[in-house]
Structure 1
C-alpha cells in the first residue's frame, strides 16, 4: 500500500501541476456575494479550461463512501438478480455490465455502472437492497441541491437577465421521460495482468464529451481519468484531489453559450502503474441536464447576444431531448441506450 501511494504521488497530473482551477463553494451558502464569486470563477474556469475542482461543497466523504459500499453490495449479488435490473433499450436507468457499452463500437470498456434517473423504488432497488435505496436517495438529493446552487451561480456568472436558466432545470431526477439528469454509480474492476486478455486493447471508458449542461464527478483515487484541454489534442492525466468534486461542461452548455463554455473531451484509460490498475476504482457522476422540452438555441445564455442572419439562417433549433438523442445517434448509430460516462 505504501509503495502504491508513492507511485501514485509521482504521476505528472494537472492537479499536481496546479493546472486545474479550484473553487471554494463555502458549503453552498446562498448569499449574493458567494454565488456571484462562484459564478465568476466558474465562468473563467469553464471558458478557459472546461474543468474545475469544487471544494467545501457540503457533501460529506462518509456519504460518498457509503454509496460506493452499497454499490459493491449490489455487485456481490448473484448474476440472475443483477439481470433483473439491467438497463433496457430506450431507457437511461438500470445496471450496465462490463462490455455492454463501447464508445468506438469495438474497444472493450471495463466497468460496472448503475444509472438512477428518478428517486423511486424501481430505480433504487428498495425491495432487494433497502439500505442501498436509503443511502443513494440521500446522496442523490445532496447532488441535486449542489447542482441547484451551481445553476444559480452560473446564472450570476453568465449575467442572464432572468432566472429562466435555473427554471429550465426544474425536473432534475424526475425521470428520463421529463429530464435526462442521471446519478451514475461506477466501478472499474482491478486489472490483473496475469489474466489473459483482460487489459489487452481494453479501456476503462472511451473518449467522449458529456451531453448535458454539466457533470459533477467524485472519485476515490487516481484511476486513469484524462482530458484534452481547450485548444489541445494532447491527453493529460487529471489526478486526484481528495474530497473535491470535479465539474466539466457538457455539449448542451457549449451550444447554449455558443462555445464560450467548452464540452471537454475525456476518457478513462487503464493506468500504466501496476499498483494503480490492480486496485478497483469507484466514482460517482451526476449528469445535470435541462428539462427535455427546453429549446436549446445557440448563444441563448449570453446576454445582449446579437446573431447575424448568416449565423441563424440555416440553424436548426432542437429541444434538449432531441439534441441528446441526436448525440446518442451520432455516437452509437442507434437510439439512446444510456447516458454519459466518467
Structure 2
C-alpha cells in the first residue's frame, strides 16, 4: 500500500486522525470464488463501519493503480475530442448515461458544479467512448458483488439476497441504475477570466443507492459530516485505497442503522491543491429497478418490523434525479 502523499499529509483530515476504518479485503475483492472466512470478516467490519461512521477505506481490493489510471487517461482522451464529437455522448433528458459538462448538475439547485463527468450504465460498446472504460466497469462490478456478499453475511437474510436484488448491474437503465461515473475536476485559478465566482466541485448530498465505491488520485476537497455531527470534515486521501460509503437505499433497508453519509467536494482553500486538477471515479451500486425497498427486508434481531411505505428502487432514484437536474 502506498504512503499518504507527503504534500498533503500536513492537512488535518479524518484519515490523519485515524477516524476512518480501513478494511483489508484480503485480495479477494474481484475473485469469482470468495473465501467464506474473508466474506464473514469483511461483513462484520462493514457493519461496524456503516453503523458508526458511514464510510471506510478498502485496501487489498484487487484493482491495480494501473487499471484505474488507464481509465482516467481514456477519459482525458475523450475530453480532448472536439466539442462536436463529445456532444454525441451527451446525457439526454430522462437518461443517466453519457457525458455531463461543468455547470449542468447543481445539487443545491443553484451553485454550478465545476467538473466533467461521464456515466456508464451498461457495457454496450456503442454507449462507450472507449472499450477500456467498459473493462474497468466490469472490474468494479465484480468488487461490488463481493461487497454485496459481505454485507449479507452478518444480517438475518438469505446469503444471496443482496446479490439477487442487484443481479442486473450494468445491464442498462431499463433494468438497473448502477453506474460507473468517470470524473475530472479542472484546476481552479483565482480570477481566471470567465470563471464564475460561486462554484463548487460537487454539492452536498447523500448518495441514492446501496453504496458507492470511490477512487481518487489526490486530496481534492472531499468532505463529510459524520453521524451525529453538523461539522464538515476533510476525509483525506489514502493512495491505492477505495473509499466506500453507504447510500440512502441501504439506510432505508436497515431502518437508518447504516448511515447514508452527507458529503461534498469543495474547492480546496490551499492554493497548491486547488491549482491542480483532480481525477476520481465512482461506482454507484443500485438494486434492480423492480426491487421493492422496505425496512422489513434486512432484519435485525431487535429490529422494528412494523409496516411502512414501500417504493421500488427505480421510483426512489427517479425522484433524486428530478431534484438534481430539474432546477437548472
Fold agreement, TM-score > 0.5: yes
Q: Give the secondary structure class of the aligned counterpart of 1:183.
A: strand
4+ long deviations beyond 6 Å? none
- Map of 1:16 onto structure 2: 16
1:87 is aligned to 91
* Distance in 2, Cα, partners of 1:199 & 1:234: 26
Unpaired segments of 5 or more residues in structure 1? 126-131, 338-342
Normalised to the residue count of structure 2, the TM-score between the two structures is: 0.93
Q: Which runs of 5+ in 2 are unaligned?
A: none
CA deviation after TM superposition for structure 1 residue 92, in Å? 0.7
Query: Is the 8 Å Cα contact of residues 199 and 270 (structure 1) preserved in structure 2?
Result: no
Partner of 1:323: 316
Preserved CA contact (<8 Å) 2:253 2:294? yes
Q: CA deviation at 1:63?
A: 0.6
> What is the match of residue 136 of structure 1?
133
Residue 71 of structure 2 is matched in structure 1 by: 67
Instruction: For 2:221 and 2:289, locate their aligned partners in 1 and report how far apart those are by CA, in whole Å.
Output: 32
Per-residue deviation, 1:305: 6.4
**For 2:52 and 2:82, how far apart are their aligned partners in 1?**
46
CA contact (8 A) 1:103 1:207 kept: yes
- Give 3-state SS (helix, strand or coil) of 2:110's partner: coil
How far is 1:6 from its partner? 5.4
Contact 1:186 1:284 in 2 (8 A): yes
Q: 1:223 to 1:145 in 2, by over 3 A?
A: same
1:40 to 29, 44, 47: 44
In the superposition, the TM-score normalised over structure 1's length comes to: 0.90
Q: How does 1:98-247 map to 2 (within 5 A)?
A: 98-125=102-129, 132-133=130-131, 135-196=132-193, 198=195, 200-247=197-244
Separation in structure 1 between the aligned mates of residue 204 and residue 251 of structure 2, nearest angstrom: 18
Corresponding residue for 1:55?
A: 59
Following superposition, the deviation at residue 326 of structure 1 comes to 2.3
| Maintained 8 Å contact 2:149/2:159 | no
Query: What root-mean-square deviation, in Å, do the aligned CA atoms of Structure 1 and Structure 2 show?
Result: 1.7
More helix by share: 1
Q: Please state whether the residue corresponding to 2:89 is helix, strand or coil.
A: coil
